[in-house]
Amino acid sequence: MIKWTMINMNLLLMFLMIMNNLIFKNNNNNNYNNITTYNRNMELYSIQSPFMKNMNIIKRRYHTSLNNNLIIVQKNNNEDNLKLNNLEINNFHKWLVGFTDGDGSFYMKGTERDLKFFYGFHLHKDDISCLEHIKNNLKLPNNINIRETSVQLTVTKKQWMNDNLLPIFDKYPCMTIKYYSYMKWKEGLMKSLNKVSSNKELMEYKTLINNYEIIKDMKIPYNHMNDHWILGFLEAEGSLTIESKRNSCKLFISQHEKSKKTLEVIKDYILNNWKPIDNTPMFIKNYLLNNWNDMIYLSKTNKCNVINLTTANMDFLYYVIIPKFNNMNWYSIKYNSFMNWQSIINIYMKGLHKINNNNIKEYIEYTKNLNKKGINKIDYNIELYNNIINNNKPLYNKNYPYRTNSIIHSKKSITGVGVFVYDLNNTLIMTFTSHVTAGAHFNCSKHEIAKYIKNGNVFMNKYILKNILLD
C-alpha cells in the first residue's frame, strides 16, 4: 500500500511539473509544448511498457504525437486493465506467431525410449518480462528457467500444446520456413497423442522439424501477413539504428537468403496497406506518395548469404512506421530501444539537434547504447526527453520533408548550393542538395541550373528555380 502511494506521488509530481511547464509557456503563441493527458481513448495509444520501473503497479502509456504535441497517457495497472479483451488476445496471438517466427522454436528431443516435443523461447535475460507476458497470456503451465545470462521458457505437455498452441498456429500461420517445421511438429504431436505412430516412426520427424527442412508441395500461407505479425517478427529480428554522424535513423531486418520471400512479403504488405497518417503535411505526403515504392527496399545478398529489408527515410519513419508501431502492443525489451529511437527521430525531425543545447547533446550521446543489453542497457529517459521537447522550439519547418529542412539549415544552403524548385504559383515542389543533382534530374547541366537561378526566368515552361527557401 505504502509503495503504491509513493509511486503515485512520483507520477503526480511528474505531471505537475509538466503541467507547470505548459502554464509557464502558455503566453507564447507557439503550441509546441502543448501537453494533453488522456484518460480515455486508450486504443489510440495502446503502448504497453513492461520495462518501466514499478511495472506491477502502474502501467504508463505515452505517445509522442506529431504536430509538436506531446501526449502522455497513463493508466492504472489494476486487474481489470491487465486482462486482455478478445481483440487484444487475437492481436497478441498474431504477435506471438511473428515473434515465434523470429525467436521461437518447435522441436523434438530425446531418443526412441524418451521422445519429447517442445515449443519455446530462449532469450537474453533482459527479456524476462517478455517471457512472463507470454507465459501469463497463454497460461502456460511451465515455469521460466532463469540462467546466468539468459532466460528460457519451454512447454512439453503434449495435451496442453494440442489444446492451446495448435488453434493459434493454425489460425495465424507462421510465415517463414518455420512453417514447415511447425506443420511436421504438429503432425508428429498429434500422431504421438493419438498413439498412431511409434516413437521409432516419430524419430524421422525429428530431423525434418529441427532443421526446418522444406517440404515440397507445401506452400507457406504468406497471405496471412498482418500488422501484429510484423511487429512480433520485428521485435525478434529487427534492428533500430541511429546514425548520429548523419543525423538519420534506420530500421532493418536481416535474414538468411532462404527467408527472402518473407522479407518481400513484408515489404509488399507495408507498401500496400500502410499509409501516411492523416495529419501529414501536404507537401510531405505528396513527396512520400510520389516515391512510395522506394521507401522500403531489399538489399543484395551479401557474402554470408544475408539479405536486408531496410527503411531509412526519416519522413516515412515519422509519418508511417512510428505511428503504426505506436498503436500496437509491444512485449519485448526492444520496446525500450524503440522509445529511445522514436524520441531521437522526433528530435531530428524538429531540427533540435542543430541547437546548441547540453540536454540534447547528452540525450543523443546516451542513445549511442540503444541496442546494448545487460549492464550497458539504457532505459527510456522520459524526463530528459520531455525536458528537451518542452523547452526547445523546433528549428525545422514541419511542412517540409526532413531532407529539405536539413538542406535549408546546412552550411551548403548558406553558400547557395541547394536548389529549390517552385511552380508558377510559388509552391515549393522539389528540392535538391546541389546544382549537379538538380541537373541530373532535369537532364541538363549544372550551369543551366545556375543560370536559371540567377536570371529568375521560367524554367522548362513551368518552374522557377531558387537557391533559397521562400517564406
Ligand X SMILES: *[C@@H]1O[C@H](CO)[C@@H](O)[C@H](O)[C@H]1NC(C)=O
Please give the residue ranges that form the binding site for ligand X (CB under 6 A): 26, 31, 34, 36, 69, 252, 254, 299, 302, 306-308, 423-425, 442-443
CA distance 274 to 227: 9
Whose Cβ is closer to ligand X: residue 36's or residue 198's?
Answer: 36
Q: How many CA atoms lie within 13 A of 27 on its CB side?
A: 1
Give bridge partners of residue 84 from the DSSP assignment: none
CA triplet 133, 134, 135: central angle to 5 degrees?
A: 90
CA distance 433 to 435: 7
Task: Provide, rounded to whole angstroms, the least separation between the CB of residue 306 and ligand X.
Answer: 4
Whose Cβ is closer to ligand X: residue 209's or residue 421's?
Answer: 421
Whose Cβ is closer to ligand X: residue 12's or residue 458's?
Answer: 458
Closest residue by Cα to residue 313 from 286, 335, 294: 294
Residue 214 per-residue DSSP state: P
How far the first Cα of the chain sits from its last, in Å, is 57
User: How many residues are given for the chain?
Assistant: 471
Closest residue by Cα to residue 172 from 185, 163, 182, 162: 182
Whose Cβ is closer to ligand X: residue 17's or residue 55's?
Answer: 17
Q: Which three cell numbers stand for residue 465?
A: 528555380
Whose Cβ is closer to ligand X: residue 224's or residue 393's?
Answer: 393
Task: Provide, rounded to whole angstroms, the least separation between the CB of residue 436 and ligand X.
Answer: 15
Task: Provide, rounded to whole angstroms, the least separation between the CB of residue 27 and ligand X.
Answer: 11
- Other beta carbons within 10 Å of 290: 11
CA distance 110 to 134: 26
Give bridge partners of residue 241 from the DSSP assignment: 250
Whose Cβ is closer to ligand X: residue 34's or residue 286's?
Answer: 34
Task: Provide, rounded to whole angstroms, the least separation between the CB of residue 310 and ligand X.
Answer: 6
Whose Cβ is closer to ligand X: residue 172's or residue 459's?
Answer: 459
Whose Cβ is closer to ligand X: residue 415's or residue 443's?
Answer: 443
3-class DSSP state of 24: helix
Whose Cβ is closer to ligand X: residue 312's or residue 355's?
Answer: 312
CB 105 within 8 A of CB 119: yes
Task: Provide, rounded to whole angstroms, the least separation between the CB of residue 303 and ligand X.
Answer: 9
Task: Provide, rounded to whole angstroms, the least separation between the CB of residue 155 and ligand X.
Answer: 34
Task: Provide, rounded to whole angstroms, the least separation between the CB of residue 437 and ligand X.
Answer: 13
Closest residue by Cα to residue 327 from 58, 37, 63: 63
Whose Cβ is closer to ligand X: residue 67's or residue 207's?
Answer: 67
Task: Provide, rounded to whole angstroms, the least separation between the CB of residue 302 and ligand X.
Answer: 4
**Integer angstrom CA distances of residue 281 from 304, 319, 397:** 42, 10, 11
CA distance 267 to 255: 14
Task: Provide, rounded to whole angstroms, the least separation between the CB of residue 138 and ligand X.
Answer: 33
Task: Provide, rounded to whole angstroms, the least separation between the CB of residue 386 and ligand X.
Answer: 16
Closest residue by Cα to residue 18 from 287, 355, 373, 387: 387
CB 244 within 8 A of CB 345: no
Q: Which three cell numbers stand for residue 194?
A: 493419438
